[in-house]
Structure 1
Amino acid sequence: MILRSVLPAFISVVWLSLTAGGSAAHQRTASDPQSGIAIPEISHGEMVMMAEYRGRIIDLAARATDTNEHFRRVLNYAQIQYAYCFWGKMPGGVTDEASPFNECSHAYLAATKAVLLLMRDMPREADAASEIVSAIDAGMVLRGLSLITCAFSGEAFNTADIVRPELTAIPAHPASVGALAGCGALVGTALLAFRRLLRPAAP
């Protein structure tokens, strides 16, 4: 069960390392912003709550039937950025400003917020979306998150501009190193066990 949850994430990081195309921090695609849809910024405090409610938001969006191209592109961007950001599994990706995965976390959570707000104007989803918005607002007030900001809090995004994690900074971030080392150990153990299963039985 543990291997099933971490193996895709481990493979995702390896794939990102191979496709990053350089060593610049938080690389972005070179697409024309005019071809994409602007995604408003999200504060650090909003990120914390949005991460907790992301599953409900995406589930609601996936069930939506009365959609348009704008909504589908923003939802698709939210899903793509989520995959690029290790599917939210890296420790400190959301809460730690020093994490190599913090800016890409801003990107997928800003897109998730945009999806939620778009659903407030959709007849069938409006009530459920508004209920989630109210819960997030209340949670931010109760936990004093509304005034918390970080280096990326004022940064806007665009569906034509994919934000990759800062892979070259991973060795300097102990939590990320530990998580990847754990994934690597689990993968190695699984491969070793698989080889033993395939080994022919002694006569």
Structure 2
Amino acid sequence: MPGRHRASRPFPVRLCACACAGLLALFLAVLLPPPASAHRSAAGRTDGLPIPTLTHGQMAVIAENRPEILALADRQPFPDMTFWRLRNYVGLQYAACLWGLVPGSIADEASPFNECSHAYLSGVRALLLHMKTMPGDTAAAAALVDRINLEMLEKNASLVVCRFSEEPFNTAEIVGPHWSEIPFHGPSLLAMLGLAAAFAGGLAMFSRFLRGPHAEAAVVAG
């Protein structure tokens, strides 16, 4: 019995140590501000496709219609290069903003994830407007544009602004969250702690799964 415990213990201990080191690195990356060169400049890059910005209110309307816009994009029969550049930007920018999973990313101007949310949702609207101009049947895209514009008018979306409402974006630049601000924003901090806890729990379950065959082998050998 003692031999079995000694044989099965080192692997999970090493795994937990690696997990703790990884979590420590994650929180150091969050707590320490990035170097000055990592901050986005006011103008940003201009060597890609320019993407007009959205006001805070317009962003909320686009967020509500994002699944329908992307579903329409996936059905386009004749995508051109501009379409693919915009679609690729939207996907990369959405992932860089942690797939919109952090609470308050869109509604809360103070969220460290608000700027990157502006970026991917501005890309979604640019993609929709481009689909309206593509060759072929554009009736569905035009109808969706008209409906979204009506929603924005009904909600006075253009009047609801924030600090990122006048910030243009570009497909050549992926905008990330403001990592150094996370410790000072409660919902974002709780979300990151939850992510860390889920990651640690997954590693624990994985270690138990891998440890099972070793434990059984030790019992048979004993």
Q: TM-score, normalised by structure 1?
A: 0.80
Match of 2:167 among 130, 155, 167: 155
Distance in 2 (CA, whole Å) between partners of 1:26 and 1:50 is 28
Note the residue ranges of structure 2 that are not aligned, 5 or more in a row: 1-22
User: Does the 8 A contact of 2:152 with 2:158 survive in 1?
Assistant: yes
Q: How many residues matched?
A: 186
**Within-5 A mapping of 1:98-113:** 98-113=110-125
SS in 1 for 2:177: coil
Distance in 1 (CA, whole Å) between partners of 2:105 and 2:171 is 20
1:88–1:106 CA distance, 2 compared to 1 (3 A): same
> Which residue does the alignment assign to 2:84?
72
Residue 101 of structure 1: how far off its partner (Å): 0.7
> Which residue does the alignment assign to 1:121?
133
The answer to which of 55-64 and 96-105 deviates more is 55-64
SS in 2 for 1:81: helix
SS in 1 for 2:85: helix
Percent identity over the alignment is 42
Residue 63 of structure 1: how far off its partner (Å): 2.4
SS in 1 for 2:157: coil
Distance in 1 (CA, whole Å) between partners of 2:75 and 2:116 is 25
Task: Write the letter of the residue equivalent to 1:112.
Answer: V
Give the helix-richer structure, 1 or 2: 2
Residue 36 of structure 1: how far off its partner (Å): 0.8
Distance in 2 (CA, whole Å) between partners of 1:80 and 1:139 is 27
Distance in 2 (CA, whole Å) between partners of 1:135 and 1:80 is 27
Residue 33 of structure 1: how far off its partner (Å): 3.8
Q: TM-score, normalised by structure 2?
A: 0.74
1:26–1:128 CA distance, 2 compared to 1 (3 A): farther
Task: Write the letter of the residue equivalent to 1:198.
Answer: L
The answer to which of 36-45 and 124-133 deviates more is 124-133
Distance in 2 (CA, whole Å) between partners of 1:25 and 1:149 is 28
2:214 is the alignment partner of 1:195 = no
Note the residue ranges of structure 1 that are not aligned, 5 or more in a row: 1-10
Distance in 2 (CA, whole Å) between partners of 1:125 and 1:194 is 50
> Which residue does the alignment assign to 2:145?
133
Residue 193 of structure 1: how far off its partner (Å): 1.8
The answer to which of 141-150 and 164-173 deviates more is 141-150
CA RMSD of aligned residues (A): 2.7
